[in-house]
Structure formats: C-alpha cells, structure tokens
Amino acid sequence: MEKLYCGVCGKKFKNSEALSQHNNSIHGLTVAAHEPKRRLATGKIVTILSIVLIVAIAGYFSISSITGRATEPGVYDEFAKCLADKGAVFYGSFQCSHCKTQKDLFGGSIEYVNYVECGPLGAPPTNKECVEAGIRAYPTWVINNIEYTGVQDLDKLSELANCPL
C-alpha cells in the first residue's frame, strides 16, 4: 500500500482522496495546485550516496594502480632521475612480487627509473634487451655493469650508483 504525505506539513495519509481533502481544507490547495509527494526514505538516499562515493574512491585507486603512477610528484624523483642518468637499469616481471616491492619503494618516482619488463615468470625472458643482458632472476639491477639480484633498498642503490637520496 502506497503511503502519501502532505507536501506542506508532512502529515501521512492512506489514500489520495484523504490527502486531497486535507490539502483543500487545511492549506487551501486544490489537487491541481498540490500533487501528493512520495518520500524517498533517508536511508535509501544515504545508501545511494555511499555507493557512489565507494565507486568513485575505488575507481581512483584502480586507475592509479593500473597506470602505476602517483597523482602527485614522487618523493624520490631526483634520486630516480640520477639513477637513470648514471645508467642504472632495473629488470623485472609484471608477475614478480619482489619487483612490485622494489617499485613500491620508489612510489610515484618509479616512472623515472630505467625499468625493463622482461616478461612472465616461469619462462625465459621474452624481451630482447633482457636476453642480451643475460637476466636470469627478478628483480635484477645492473649498475656500472655489475648485476645485483633481489630487492635493493634505496640506501644501497644510492651507494652503488653514487646518487644522493
């Protein structure tokens, strides 16, 4: 059964005839001048707004994780640029959890690192550059023609490449 409410005073009615009589006698309104209002429950409004907010936040984080780029400049931009200028190269795989850990250390500054994607795990590298470099494990850094395998902390990379943090 549909519940009707007076749009002026909010009183609830069981049918439109009762609402019409109320509007006419109490508020001096005719049916044409004042149609019955149906209330959308406050709970429904809050639920809808919550869902929209959650979808917007999820979309933001999905896009930034898909692109791999932060929305603000990275803390280590200058450090990452120095590594690139010195010829340091980071070889990895998109499936490698340790490579993700290495990338996460740089945050948004990873975009300035010379990163080479070697291909899926469990198979020889598919990228010609990785094959020519003889990469056998991920992550691998090559700095001054020396290989360093595994996740390298930023202090060690700073020392190896002579780049200030």
- 128-139 tens-digit pLDDT: 999 999 999 999
90's enclosing H/E stretch is: strand 89-92
Q: What is the pTM of this model?
A: 0.56
> Tell me: the pLDDT tens digits for 83-93?
999 999 999 99
Query: Tokens in use for 108?
Result: 């948004």
Phi, psi of 142 (to 5 degrees): -120, 115
CB neighbour list of residue 11: distance below 8 Å, 6 or more residues apart? 5, 22
Q: What is the dihedral of CA 85, 118, 76, 102, to 10 degrees?
A: -140
